[in-house]
A = this chain, B = another copy of it.
Amino acid sequence: MNKAREFDQSVVAELKTLLGDRVSTSAAVREHHGKDESYFPYALPDVVVFLKTTEEVRDVVNICRSHRVPMIPYGVGTSLEGHILAVQGGVCIDLSQMNQVLAVHEEDLDAVVQAGVTRKQLNEHIRHTGLFFPIDPGADATLGGMTATRASGTNAVRYGTMRENVMSLKVVLADGRIIQTSRRAKKSAAGYDLTRLFVGSEGTLGIITEVTVKLHPVQAAMSAAVCSFAAIDGAAKTVIQTLQAGIPIARSELLCALTMKALNAHNKTTHREQPTLLLEFHGTEASVVEQAQLVQEIAKDNGGMDFQWATRPEERTRLWEARHNAYFACLQLKAGSRAVSTDVCVPISRLAECVTATAKDLAQSSLPVPLFGHVGDGNFHLVILVDPASKVEMEEAKSINSRLVTRALAMEGTCTGEHGIGMGKMDSMRKELGDDAIDVMRDLKRVFDPENLMNPGKVVPL
């Protein structure tokens, strides 16, 4: 299925006629666009185009279709499941130059952006408005890419994921039609939810060129806190009880002892190397104090130690930078390693059990495997550190992940909370949802892409 197809070189000439020097077949450019941050081997597109408008996307789609050439949309290449690998060759459609913020509607709390705008760029652009875009997967990904992978991250416990924060999309379909999936009203009951159908479709149903996203008011007060626990169980229980009490925490991240060790080494800090909860509170001055006090009590009841506050912006920033660096800090634990990332998400009532059973499983492994995640959503990651040249280690990593997915599914969880299916989780998704649901997805794929040209080999194989 994933053998590169015969590539019709006349496509390049047609693209050059359309786009001039915004077409590249150089090895360096193709290599840059043939990898993401996953452990999958590189898979290079035959040609890369750099587009600026929806109409150009349509024209390129029409050229590709007429030559039956695969097309792979590309943002900044930060995906984690091989989403943008050109496993059947074809045209990589780089959208990073579609980076215009088209409109900011302050009164309506929304913005319309081209797909190549990154989340940090948008937040910089709207800094003066008192509004912000909360979804934060760590990487400075594009809004188009974040939509396509249904991205999430540290703020999701309060602000939701891309599913809740995308209002409308402009999409180029495989047959060259351009649709707008919804109007800009805050809610609508008009027909089938085309917006949500494209959120998480990973480039396999159409190419997203514009995104209308919700913005949120920057709260009057924000504060963060760190708290250590003797065991991971206490940290998980703290978060469950906090959510049940209706306390609107904005972030709640769990880091295991090994992750804390990696962070201390990487950042030259002296945090306790024990399971640690990072929390953030948003609200009015009074409510933030109230929230944090309530959580501090809950943490104490669950064995929390050294509850520390960070109310000044620079302290908060330092804390969250440390969290965002966790992935890279962990890579330093083993020289020359790459990471196989896992991404299960379980109902939070099962989180402590799932984490504990996983820790027990990892104790058998020779590989270093830090664990961290978005505990308020029941979502956590293992960063399995492997020597990519070692077949034995790769097999061990896959086997750890496979057991983890089986464990999560047995607890009514999902194989992927936020990274997506891409190339690595098709079998897991079938186990998760069953043959009939996957067959329905395949029928949907066929409706939108009967010739299997839109990012083929991802999500559902045809």
Contacts and interface: CB of A to CB of B under 8 A. Distances in A.
Interface of A: 105-110, 130, 149-152, 156, 160-161, 163-164, 173, 177-194, 196-197, 199-201, 205, 216-220, 240, 243-246, 248, 283-284, 286-287, 290-291, 343, 345-349, 377-379, 409, 412-421, 425, 428-429, 432-434, 436-438, 440-441, 443-444, 446-448, 459-460
Nearest to A205: B192
Contacts of A459: 191-192
A117 to B, nearest CB: 20
Contacts of A246: 216-220
A182 B432 CA distance: 8
A377 B179 contact: no
Contact of A193 (B152, B196, B244): B196
A246 B446 CA distance: 43
A345 B432 contact: no
Protomer copies: 2
Contacts of A220: 246
Contacts of A181: 433, 437
Contact of A189 (B183, B200, B413): B200
A233 to B, nearest CB: 14
Given A179-B437, A191-B459, A347-B105, A184 B217 contact: no
Contact of A187 (B190, B379, B432): B379
A153 B444 CA distance: 31
Contacts of A108: 347-349
Contact of A185 (B196, B216, B378): B378
A103 B434 CA distance: 22
16 contacts: A110-B347, A183-B413, A185-B379, A186-B379, A189-B200, A189-B416, A191-B200, A191-B429, A191-B433, A191-B460, A192-B201, A193-B199, A197-B197, A284-B290, A440-B448, A443-B447
B109 A244 contact: yes
A173 B441 CA distance: 13
